[in-house]
Amino acid sequence: MDAGSRSISSEKSRAAAAPRPPLQEAGSRPYMPPLSSGSRNPSAKCYGDRFIPDRSAMDMDMAHYLLTEPRKDKENAAVSPSKEAYRRLLAEKLLNNRTRILAFRNKPPEPENVAAADATSSHHARPAKQRRHIPQSAERTLDAPELVDDYYLNLLDWGTNNVLSIALGDTVYLWDASSGSTSELVTVDEDSGPITSVSWAPDGRHIAVGLNSSDVQLWDTSSNRLLRTLRGVHEARVGSLAWNNSILTTGSMDGKIVNNDVRIRNHMVQTYEGHSQEVCGLKWSGSGQQLASGGNDNLLHIWDVSMASSMPSAGRNQWLHRLDDHVAAVKALAWCPFQSNLLATGGGGSDRCIKFWNTHTGACLNSVDTGSQVCSLLWNKNERELLSSHGFTQNQLTLWKYPSMVKVAELTGHTSRVLFMAQSPDGCTVASAAADETLRFWNVFGTPEVPKPAAKAAHTGMFNSFNHIR
């Protein structure tokens, strides 16, 4: 069991303190030039950077003679013009004017105009990529009062419409990153709260809210309307949520994982049973073919859609891989964006490791001891980098280069463990929420690239039938 979770009852007792408005503003490395030089003249590539003597074209006897011939001191010895003329004539007739010891197959290239060579190389060579500057301080800090200090919950998510959702106590707030405006989506009653998980649907308009009462609510954020409540799915709080198109996967303290098709009335379509304690991490792969689940029982499971669909009548599905290498709760899960079968996982306070898995074979590819509790993991969508958030002692965010796992940067500022992270739709900004009740924004993954214009695809509208659901 991962120590350090604050009880829910103690969270509610803090309501007596003076309230703070949520999501309000709270009170470098020098530039390094690129270490690359201009390209060489392409015409010189055929010669290489050195010349190798051609033994077959050499006269070894003549070379020996030239090496052992006594040197004449021309400065001290006076040579008459007649003797100098005789010496030149003798060398011409006998030595055929051969004065070099080594013979080469190819002649060195003729020197070219330096300016012309530079112009040619700059025309053909690609501009060198500058080293990315990573700010060491947060770009923005917002207050997040009543954020529940519980390692097993998932209270932060950033939707595709550039709206960030965060659960503070019994209320879900929405912060529009484009305008900086804040709005309240819902406040649940004390019997249902506090809120234990939030997750945006792929359309960026609808959001799922997991409750301590075991219910799950589906909201339309464009109209602030409750579409439906999923009841009877679990017997305890719902701490983890994950979307796969129109399938909402829920994980609970009862150890069960349930696939819910939100388009139909009888929404429970599949159940995965493999965890004996709370399911605190759920992530679908980018292809939607595999589901990773982590639990407080220190287990990591990989579930495959093909295996689930082959046994629809059984109701409960067998895992593809059951992995028990971690020695603490497994909450931090992140599928690699550039390698579909690569999964990164992070362990709790007694484990402190980031592990990498081949989900096709179940093999552990690497394990790195970070020295502190791993709370969350995010991949850089544009570079081969991984960002992790941690607890005691530094409460830092660490950027790693993959696969070498060399530390690129450590971002500090939080004064308590960094429980949750979410990534902006462009993949460049990361929001982190910590037990110090602050929400910080880091420009850790660089400046977004200018996207190419693409035709908009019509959305199928998974929630179109919700007008008739009460």
pLDDT tens digits, the chain, 470 residues: what are they? 555 554 444 444 444 455 678 888 876 444 434 434 444 444 444 445 555 566 666 667 666 666 666 554 444 455 677 777 787 777 776 666 555 555 555 555 655 554 455 545 554 555 556 778 999 999 999 999 999 999 999 999 999 999 999 999 999 999 999 999 999 999 999 999 999 999 999 999 999 999 999 999 999 999 999 999 999 999 999 999 999 999 999 999 999 999 999 999 999 999 999 999 999 999 999 999 999 999 999 999 999 988 764 444 445 678 999 999 999 999 999 999 999 999 999 999 999 999 999 999 999 999 999 999 999 999 999 999 999 999 988 999 999 999 999 999 999 999 999 999 999 999 999 999 999 999 999 999 987 666 566 555 555 555 555 544 33
- Residue owning tokens 């003329």: 85
DSSP state of 154: B
Residue 85 buriedness (CB in 10 A; 0-12 / 13-18 / 19+): exposed
Residues in Cβ contact with 117 at an 8 Å cutoff, skipping those fewer than 6 apart:
41
Distances (CA, A) of 220 to 159, 182, 205, 215, 467: 13, 16, 6, 17, 11
On whether the CB atoms of residues 400 and 409 are closer than 8 A, the answer is no
Note the CATH architecture for domain 146-273: 7 Propeller (2.130)
Q: In what order do the strands lie in the sheet with 397-401?
A: 374-379, 385-390, 397-401, 406-411
Cα 189 to chain center, whole Å? 37
Q: What's the confidence (pLDDT) of residue 17?
A: 52
On whether the CB atoms of residues 316 and 301 are closer than 8 A, the answer is no
Please give the Cα distance from 147 to 431 (Å, whole number): 14
What are the start-end ranges of the H helices in 24-80?
60-68
The two three-digit tokens of residue 379, written as one number: 């991949």
Rg (Cα) of the chain, in Å, rounded?
A: 34
On whether the CB atoms of residues 219 and 204 are closer than 8 A, the answer is no
Taking every pair of Cα atoms in the chain, the longest distance, rounded to a whole number of angstroms, is 122
| CA neighbours closer than 13 Å in the CB half-sphere of residue 390 | 24
Q: What's the confidence (pLDDT) of residue 447?
A: 75
Q: What's the confidence (pLDDT) of residue 124?
A: 53
What are the start-end ranges of the H helices in 343-470?
none
Domain with CATH 2.130.10.10 in the chain: 146-273, 329-444
Go through the chain and tell me how many residues it has.
470
Fold entry, domain 329-444: Methylamine Dehydrogenase; Chain H (2.130.10)
| CA neighbours closer than 13 Å in the CB half-sphere of residue 433 | 27
Instruction: Name the residue type at position 209.
Output: V
Please give the Cα distance from 306 to 415 (Å, whole number): 44
Please give the Cα distance from 395 to 412 (Å, whole number): 7
Q: What's the confidence (pLDDT) of residue 212?
A: 98
| DSSP codes, 379-394 | E-SSSSEEEEEE-TTT
Secondary structure class of 20 (helix, strand, coil): coil
Please give the Cα distance from 45 to 125 (Å, whole number): 14
Q: What's the confidence (pLDDT) of residue 145?
A: 96
The two three-digit tokens of residue 30, written as one number: 């020098």
Residue of 223, 225, 234 lying closest to 197 (CA atoms): 234
Cα 463 to chain center, whole Å? 31
The two three-digit tokens of residue 182, written as one number: 């804040």
Q: What's the confidence (pLDDT) of residue 100?
A: 58
Distances (CA, A) of 331 to 59, 136, 379, 383, 439: 76, 26, 15, 24, 20
On whether the CB atoms of residues 296 and 277 are closer than 8 A, the answer is yes
Secondary structure class of 349 (helix, strand, coil): coil
On whether the CB atoms of residues 229 and 211 are closer than 8 A, the answer is no
The two three-digit tokens of residue 97, written as one number: 């004017």
